[in-house]
């Protein structure tokens, strides 16, 4: 974690989730960061200035008008290594997106050249409003990092999307943005700028009953690495994941469980994506019947060995291959334990893919659960590139380099 000694402006706006910003502040200070809190007028209705002043590294600031320091926004903006806004209300997102500065926080956001992380939180209806989503999209296209809200209890007892991400996840995202890991290597800094990338990750879970599932050993690590690398290279990334793990900074995440859930989320979104990377290990079979109660042992094995009848899941990568738009790049994965290249090339053709990432998951340190991977990339016209054992981020880099090349080839 690279928080020690870093100067962070913590912007807090007026939403019920402002109380969680106190925890964000404490965690940042505990990790060694220098935190300068800036509260909007609205925030002061929810949380006390004294609380922040007591916890932070310098007193709270709330106003553009300060006799001792006439231009606080330029001092704050220029001195910051990062600005994080948690919670970020619809108002502040709108003001920031449109360059409207009417208070200290919005002025600081415009005055800074440091990376900015916004953590939206609001009622579901507001969160889903196209105006809010458009503003966020605009900010993302300018490189602003987003820590996506989750679903859960909101103000007034309502439940839905729009709940501020957990303070630990916000602090992890801040550290990640500050970390060198997020800085793409030379020349790749923005080779995916403005490109929309859809990535899937993890093994799907097919329910047998409310307790038991059929799944596989995919950890989702390669998919997360791909999402993080694509975001670091300027892409607008959506990660559809079966794994309960915070999204990499700047990546929108949608959690799913089964193959059918994943299909329902991925297929409509794939229409608008420039690049689709199907890194998920999608189950090939699922139980025909999902029991509505936990099956007792005697029910499962009434007469002889336990009996679970399976049916095939739908291979929606085949659908994506059929519906592929000109210029769209479709990447599949093939985890094999034998005949790696033959099997992978057959999938490349059968599913009409542009690239397949083949790995022999029986080799040491390769594939499921490991932090490392070794793959062979297969593409059009017999294209083959071997990526020897390395960390999954480096594999992600190689995959996205190949994607960029394919996009260049199709556009010229
Ligand atoms: N895939 C999919 N839907 C499925 C099964 C697989 O979209 N129901 C995708 C995976 O995400 C992966 C690719 O297809 O990108 C290859 O998956 P894999 O399981 O290796 O291939 P299968 O076609 O299922 O072949 P087999 O199980 O016989 O190896």
Q: Tell whether the model's pLDDT for residue 278 goes beyond 60.
A: yes
Work out the average pLDDT over 196-220. 97
Question: Residue 48: helix, strand or coil by DSSP?
Answer: coil
Nearest CA to ligand 1 atom 23: 347
> Ligand 1 centroid to 259 CA: how many Å?
11
Check residue 68 and give its pLDDT: 67
* Rg from Cα positions in the chain: 23
Work out the average pLDDT over 19-38. 96
Q: How confident is the model at residue 189 (pLDDT cuts 50, 70, 90)?
A: low
- Known active-site residue 216: yes
Check residue 190 and give its pLDDT: 82
Q: What is the residue whose two structure tokens read 């979104």?
A: 269
Q: Which of 226, 283, 311, 317 to mutate to test the pocket of ligand 1 (most atoms within 8 A of CB)?
A: 317
Pocket of ligand 1 (CB under 6 A): 259, 278, 280, 282, 284, 313, 315-317, 332-335, 347
Check residue 128 and give its pLDDT: 92
Q: What is the distance of C-alpha 112 from the center of its chain?
A: 24
Q: How confident is the model at residue 209 (pLDDT cuts 50, 70, 90)?
A: very high
Strand 196-201 with 275-278, pairing? parallel
Check residue 13 and give its pLDDT: 97
Q: Which of 198, 261, 278 to mutate to test the pocket of ligand 1 (most atoms within 8 A of CB)?
A: 278
Between 65 and 280, the higher pLDDT residue: 280
Nearest CA to ligand 1 atom 8: 315
Domains recognised in the chain with CATH numbers: 7-179 (3.40.50.1950), 196-411 (3.40.50.10300)
Question: Residue 277: helix, strand or coil by DSSP?
Answer: strand
- H-assigned helices in 303-369: 316-322, 340-350
Atom from ligand 1 closest to the CA of residue 284: 8
> Ligand 1 centroid to 375 CA: how many Å?
16
Check residue 152 and give its pLDDT: 78
Phi and psi angles of residue 124, each rounded to the nearest 5 degrees, phi first: -55, -45
C-alpha–C-alpha distance, residues 404 and 388, integer Å: 20
Task: Provide the mean pLDDT of the chain.
Answer: 92
> Ligand 1 centroid to 36 CA: how many Å?
49
Q: Specify whether the CB–CB gap between 111 and 73 falls below 8 A.
A: yes
Check residue 183 and give its pLDDT: 58
Q: How confident is the model at residue 2 (pLDDT cuts 50, 70, 90)?
A: confident
Q: Specify whether the CB–CB gap between 83 and 77 falls below 8 A.
A: yes
């Amino acid at each position: 974690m690279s928080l020690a000694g870093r100067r962070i402006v913590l912007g807090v706006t007026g939403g019920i989730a402002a109380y969680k910003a106190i925890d964000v502040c404490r965690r940042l200070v505990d990790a060694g960061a220098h935190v300068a809190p800036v509260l909007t007028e609205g925030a002061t209705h929810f949380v006390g200035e004294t609380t922040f002043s007591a916890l932070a590294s310098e007193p709270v600031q709330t106003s553009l008008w300060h006799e001792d320091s006439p231009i606080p926004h330029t001092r704050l903006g220029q001195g910051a290594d990062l600005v994080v806004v948690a919670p970020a209300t619809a108002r502040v997102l709108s003001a920031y997106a449109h360059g409207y500065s009417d208070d200290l926080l919005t002025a600081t956001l415009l005055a800074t050249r440091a990376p900015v992380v916004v953590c939206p939180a609001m009622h579901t209806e507001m969160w889903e409003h196209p105006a809010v989503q458009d503003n966020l999209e605009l900010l993302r296209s300018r490189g602003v990092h987003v820590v996506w809200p989750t679903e859960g209890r909101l103000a007034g007892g309502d439940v839905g999307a729009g709940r501020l991400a957990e303070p630990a996840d916000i602090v992890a995202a801040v550290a990640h943005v500050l970390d060198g890991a997020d800085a793409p290597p030379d020349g790749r800094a923005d080779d995916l700028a403005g490109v929309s990338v859809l990535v899937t990750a993890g093994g799907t879970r097919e329910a047998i009953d409310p307790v038991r599932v059929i799944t596989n050993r995919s950890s989702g690590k390669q998919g997360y690495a791909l999402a993080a690398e694509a975001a670091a290279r300027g892409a607008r990334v959506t990660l559809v994941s079966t794994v309960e793990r915070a999204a990499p900074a700047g990546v929108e995440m949608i959690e799913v469980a089964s193959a059918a859930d994943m299909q329902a989320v991925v297929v409509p979104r794939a229409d608008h994506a420039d690049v689709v990377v199907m890194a998920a290990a999608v189950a090939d079979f699922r139980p025909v019947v999902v029991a509505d109660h936990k099956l007792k042992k005697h029910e499962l094995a009434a007469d002889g060995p336990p009996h679970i009848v399976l049916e095939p899941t739908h291979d929606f990568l085949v659908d994506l291959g059929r519906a592929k738009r000109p210029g769209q790049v479709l990447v599949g994965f093939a985890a094999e334990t034998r005949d790696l290249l033959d099997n992978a090339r057959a999938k490349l053709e059968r599913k009409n893919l542009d690239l397949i990432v083949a790995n022999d998951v029986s080799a040491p340190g390769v594939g499921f659960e490991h932090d490392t991977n070794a793959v062979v990339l297969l593409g059009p016209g017999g294209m083959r590139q071997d990526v020897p054992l390395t960390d999954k981020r480096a594999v992600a880099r190689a995959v996205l380099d190949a994607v960029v090349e394919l996009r260049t080839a199709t556009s010229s």
